[in-house]
């Protein structure tokens, strides 16, 4: 893979990740679109071998032919990503119609679990501090 293609893939992946981390569903869909395009470009760049077509003028050429498998993989990935993109855009449009915006809201259950997890972590930290104090007392010979 040439340096320019590697730079382009890195740029597309970073822009795709940035967009996928946003709260707007349309930006998330665009981010995943960029990520799939970067993956397709990587497959094509890594699988591209300079060779001739397998059949020229009706005769089979058996030397230095190009491998069609990466191209088949990319074609399949394009079809799958197109279907997923259309489905995700349909969901975003439905959310826009029903709610008036396409932002992803925080889940109240996730907030509750995070709060309980924070309380549990604080309890474990306090228990760890008490165990450290007991170990220090044992090392000094105190009971």
> Both 5 and 46 in a single domain?
yes
Distance separating alpha carbons of residues 29 and 27, to the nearest angstrom: 5
How many structural domains are present in the chain? 2
For residues 101 and 38, state if they share a domain: yes
The tens digit of pLDDT for each residue in 52-67 reads: 666 666 666 666 666 7
Domain match, 82 and 136 both? no
Query: Per-residue pLDDT tens for 111-130?
Result: 777 777 776 666 666 667 76
Beta bridge partners of 103: 24
Confidence of residue 68 (pLDDT cuts 50, 70, 90): confident
User: Which pLDDT does position 123 carry in this prediction?
Assistant: 65
Residues 99 and 117 in one domain: no
Q: Which residues contact 28 (CB under 8 A, 6 or more apart)?
A: 19, 20, 22, 88, 104
* Residues 80 and 15 reside in one and the same domain: yes
For residues 41 and 101, membership in a common domain is answered with yes
Q: What pLDDT, on the 0 to 100 scale, is given for residue 37?
A: 92
CA angle 118, 102, 107 (to 5 degrees): 20
Residues 67 and 120 in one domain: no
- Is there a single domain that holds both residue 117 and residue 73? no
Same domain (yes/no): 98, 111: no
Question: What is the rounded average pLDDT of the residues 35-45?
Answer: 88
Question: By the 8 A CB rule, do 27 and 19 touch?
Answer: yes
Can you tell me which residue has the tokens 């996928």?
20
What average pLDDT does range 99-114 have in this prediction? 77
Full residue range of the structural domain in which residue 132 is found: 107-143
- pTM, to two decimals: 0.63
Domain match, 94 and 140 both? no
| Token pair recorded at residue 96 | 């826009």
pLDDT value at 141 more than 90: no
Residues 116 and 88 in one domain: no
The dihedrals phi and psi of 103, each to the nearest 5 degrees, come to -85, 145
Alpha-carbon gap, residue 134 to 125, rounded angstroms:
14
Q: What is the CATH number of the domain that holds 2?
A: 1.10.287.3510
Mean pLDDT of 84-99: 89
pLDDT of residue 82: 93
Buried b (16+ CB within 10 A) or exposed e, 66-100: eeeebeeebeeeeeebeeeeeebeeebeebeeeee
Question: pLDDT, tens digit, for every residue of 11-21?
Answer: 999 999 999 89
């Amino acid at each position: 893979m040439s340096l320019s293609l590697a730079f382009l893939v890195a740029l597309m992946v970073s822009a795709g990740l940035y967009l996928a981390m946003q709260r707007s569903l349309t930006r998330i869909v665009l981010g995943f679109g960029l990520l799939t395009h970067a993956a397709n470009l990587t497959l094509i760049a890594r699988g591209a071998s300079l060779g001739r077509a397998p059949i020229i003028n009706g005769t089979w050429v058996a030397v230095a032919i190009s491998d069609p498998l990466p191209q088949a993989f990319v074609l399949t990935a394009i079809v799958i990503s197109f279907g997923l993109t259309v489905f995700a855009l349909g969901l975003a449009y439905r959310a826009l119609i029903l709610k008036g915006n396409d932002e992803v809201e925080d889940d109240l259950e996730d907030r509750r679990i995070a709060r309980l997890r924070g309380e549990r972590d604080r309890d474990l930290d306090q228990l760890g501090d008490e165990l450290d104090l007991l170990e220090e007392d044992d090392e000094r010979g105190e009971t």
